[in-house]
Structure 1
Amino acid sequence: MAFMGGAATARPQTTVTDPVRVMVVDDSVVVRGLIGRWIDEDPALAVVASHRNGKLAVDDIVRSNPDVVVLDVEMPEMDGITALPLMLKAKPGLVVVMASTLTRRNAEISLKCLSLGAADYVPKPESNSGVTTSAGFRTEVVQKVKTLGQRAQMRGGRGHVSHPEPSPRQAPPVSPAPTARPIASPAPRATTSGAGPSLRPYSSMAPKVLLIGSSTGGPQALTKLFSEIGPAIVNVPVLVTQHMPATFTSILAEHITKAAGRRAAEGVHGEPLMPGRIYVAPGGRHMVVGKQGMETCVLLNDLPPVNFCKPAVDPLFESAASIFGASILACVLTGMGHDGAAGAVRIANGGGSVIAQDEESSVVWGMPGAVAQAGAAAEILPLDQIGSKITRILGGRR
């Protein structure tokens, strides 16, 4: 049963076999009711509390003991950005998923919340009727709550979901999502000693481009990574695909600019690739690379979602593989699903190099885990080692 008003009666402490315990916080009774019903319809999830503002939620965190909070950004009395740090202080390890409509202000607040400790966000339709009819929003809320909640249950809030799952982000709201493409068969590869994924050798050629793909947990990871590699990317263009809707990606580019100390912006159709520039795939469009005359350019398209995502990582990786070959350095960071794995195999089969973020440092080890399991990675590294590795490679060292 979904709760429409105050807190539910507190339940016993969670074990790894219990449903994920969820608190829903939104000033709209309609939204609270819908999200609560969707969650309770999944046997792996259970609503333990529902509140109309942040203050009531903060006061109830200890008693209701949720694993995950779905937290609205805009609410009376106490909004989401004010409630977030108080919730995390009351229950360290709590997973908070921000929900906000697609305005620039709310996108900025949502990204700020990620830097304050929120695990992820979901873009919310602007009207209650939109919430009611959006299959995409429903799918994304349930999938993220389940995946991140099960992660929280593992290892006392420090576990990671390592199995690749199809990511629901930006799935078409009405028509069925396209079937994810199979991952290409990898070519023979070098093997590691002992257990674990097989690794490819790094390319012996100097990179002419750096490609990065990410999803859940990506904004935080990208900020950290670019703060470290900013000085090193002077001689190569950098292309980033982060699963995000429109509005969010332009703000993400601004954050990357500050972190890297170099200009980052959404890619523009037809603009040439320039060394030292950072191109971010705009929300709602795929970004690829192609030739226009003698120049290699950014190309945008409005083709259907790939791996349930738009923008998707695979189109970028695959298009770059056909142009740059063994002169590619790519990195797949934290994220749900397996987007990027097929493209990583293409890059590796062409002689390029792919770095995958490791499981321990990933918010969700879906995308990088799929790359590792496909045998496409040259190395699997924690986030705090990826920046220095990229810097060494771009500097001509290994």
Structure 2
Amino acid sequence: MLESKKASTGGDAAPIRVMIVDDSVVIRGLFSRWIGEEPELSVVATFRNGQLAVDGLEQAAPDVVVLDIEMPVMDGLTALPLLLKKQPDLTVVMASTLTHRNAAVSLRALSLGATDYVGKPETTAQTSTSLEFRRELIEKLKGLGRIKGRRAEKRRALQSSRRMRVETSAGQKTQQSTAASPVRASRIDARQALQMAKARAEAEGPNFTTRPYGRTVPRIVAIGSSTGGPQALLKVLGDMKGAISRVPVVITQHMPRTFTTILAEHLQKSVGVPAKEAENDELLQNGVIYVAPGGIHLSVAQSAHGVVARLSDSAPINFCRPSVEPLFQSVAEVYGSSSLALMLTGMGADGAEGVNHIAAQGGAIIAQDEYSSVVWGMPGAAARTGNCNEVLPLDQIGGRVSGILEGALR
């Protein structure tokens, strides 16, 4: 059903428009109440199945859709490509209970264009009382909604910059052919040049500095990722497949339990090298990908027999468990200048302190660039430390890592 839109929160910022698609009337009501208590968010429609959501999409005009997986008439996985066909820039957050099947379906949905996922507790009662789940859902709706708005602003700025370049070029030709009012023409050109510079700066995003690589060949690759991470991991690891045999690869991907099991299975199948959830105290082996289990921090430690994985269920860091911080910081301590860290797409700033630790030990860091990131939160925070060696598009990272592991540090 369509809901009334909330009034703007003031100024020029309108609320983020949210559409809820779930077959449970209780869940629809619960999510609507949570969202209704947030000034930045507005529920514009709720539907009980995917077919109704597809039919009502244009009228609702949402910014973000929360899409359940298991529904009658049309399930979420069937509805997803139809929603995206109607509105290609739509942000879709999959919502499913933490079962093995739903985890596999959610990862499939990410490959079909969903932006993110939230893992619902197993029962409605648990969902209604879980403060952690409520915080995660609201945080993602706000974060992804803001990102969509900023991307639209940057597209408009880039388009404005291009239009002004065309207008300036036309103005210059007119000035060359007409000797009248040279002062006025000069003022117009100066104003247009200033507007172009401003639009270009807005379109290109924040500036950052990088530092030179050292000479030590890495003995480990540590990766941090979150929103958009599964697809980014598949791309990077696939591109560096030939070099993985030289090092262990340790990954912290923000994911709930069960999801990381499926992620490891997908990585092994797609990349063609051994991949698994890390186990406590297991010896790290070259040529193996280790994924932090959902809900558990992963770090590394030196033992009498070599470097081992360490798991901990200690308190969340940056609201995350697993967090990238303990992984990066422990890699810096154990491997020092032989560390290579990659910060891929993700919301928030988790891992930025770990980047500083790795840099302080002489290790190397590559961050994904803004244009290729689903969310330039974590890689953006890493870049702004000034301690990254490079900030690269996703399709260049795997090849660059392969070269570094083979000794091409320049």
TM-score, length of structure 2 as denominator length: 0.84
CA distance in 1, matches of 2:271, 2:395: 15
Deviation at 1:58, TM superposition (A): 0.5
Aligned to 1:352: 363
Contact kept? 1:16, 1:154, Cα under 8 Å: no
2:27 to 31, 52, 69: 31
- Structure 1 residues 317 and 10: alpha-carbon distance in aligned structure 2, compared to 1, 3 A threshold: closer
Deviation at 1:379, TM superposition (A): 0.8
Q: Provide the secondary structure at the position in 2 that maps to 1:205.
A: coil
CA distance in 2, matches of 1:53, 1:196: 44
Q: Does 2:351 correspond to 1:343?
A: no
Aligned to 1:116: 112
Contact kept? 1:245, 1:284, Cα under 8 Å: yes
Aligned to 1:286: 297
Aligned to 1:269: 280
Q: How does 1:180-329 map to 2 (within 5 A)?
A: 196-329=207-340
Contact kept? 1:93, 1:158, Cα under 8 Å: no
CA distance in 2, matches of 1:397, 1:157: 39
* Higher mean C-alpha displacement, 282-291 vs 81-90: 282-291
- Structure 1 residues 109 and 16: alpha-carbon distance in aligned structure 2, compared to 1, 3 A threshold: farther
Aligned to 2:170: none
CA distance in 2, matches of 1:50, 1:213: 35
1:66 to 45, 62, 67: 62
Q: Provide the secondary structure at the position in 1 that maps to 2:310.
A: strand
Q: CA-to-partner distance for each residue in 1:291-327, whole Å, 9 max, x for gaps?
A: 2213111111221111111111110111111111000
* Pairs aligned (count): 357
Q: CA-to-partner distance for each residue in 1:80-111, whole Å, 9 max, x for gaps?
A: 00100000001110000000000000000000
Q: CA-to-partner distance for each residue in 1:167-217, whole Å, 9 max, x for gaps?
A: xxxxxxxxxxxxxxxxxxxxxxxxxxxx82121221210010000000111
Aligned to 2:160: none
CA distance in 2, matches of 1:155, 1:350: 36
Q: Does 2:18 correspond to 1:22?
A: yes
1:7 to 2, 25, 28: 2
Q: How does 1:82-231 map to 2 (within 5 A)?
A: 82-156=78-152, 196-231=207-242
CA distance in 2, matches of 1:117, 1:152: 15
Contact kept? 1:224, 1:259, Cα under 8 Å: no
* Higher mean C-alpha displacement, 295-304 vs 56-65: 295-304
**What is the CA RMSD across the aligned residues, in angstroms?**
1.9
Amino acid at match of 2:230: P
Deviation at 1:155, TM superposition (A): 3.3
CA distance in 2, matches of 1:294, 1:84: 49
Detail structure 1 runs of 4+ shifted over 4 Å in the superposition. 9-12
Amino acid at match of 2:236: L
Q: Provide the secondary structure at the position in 1 that maps to 2:256.
A: coil
CA distance in 2, matches of 1:16, 1:319: 45
Contact kept? 1:208, 1:327, Cα under 8 Å: yes
Q: CA-to-partner distance for each residue in 1:203-245, whole Å, 9 max, x for gaps?
A: 2100100000001111111111111111111111100000111
Give unmatched runs, 5+ long, in structure 1: 1-5, 160-194
Q: Provide the secondary structure at the position in 1 that maps to 2:318.
A: coil
Deviation at 1:385, TM superposition (A): 1.2
Deviation at 1:157, TM superposition (A): 8.9
Aligned to 1:368: 379
CA distance in 1, matches of 2:349, 2:150: 21
Q: Identify which of structures 1 and 2 has the higher relative contact order when contacts are C-alpha pairs closer than 8 Å and 6+ apart.
A: 1
CA distance in 1, matches of 2:385, 2:248: 26
Amino acid at match of 1:99: A
CA distance in 1, matches of 2:154, 2:311: 38
Amino acid at match of 2:17: R
CA distance in 1, matches of 2:17, 2:112: 22
Q: CA-to-partner distance for each residue in 1:327-346, whole Å, 9 max, x for gaps?
A: 01110011111111111100
1:377 to 388, 392, 397: 388
Aligned to 1:186: none
Q: Does 2:72 correspond to 1:76?
A: yes
CA distance in 2, matches of 1:8, 1:308: 32
Deviation at 1:376, TM superposition (A): 1.8
CA distance in 1, matches of 2:49, 2:154: 28
- Structure 1 residues 275 and 75: alpha-carbon distance in aligned structure 2, compared to 1, 3 A threshold: same
Deviation at 1:367, TM superposition (A): 0.9
Question: Alignment identity in percent?
Answer: 54
The structure that is helix-richer by fraction is 2
Amino acid at match of 2:132: G
Q: CA-to-partner distance for each residue in 1:228-276, whole Å, 9 max, x for gaps?
A: 1111111111000001111000100011112221010000111111111
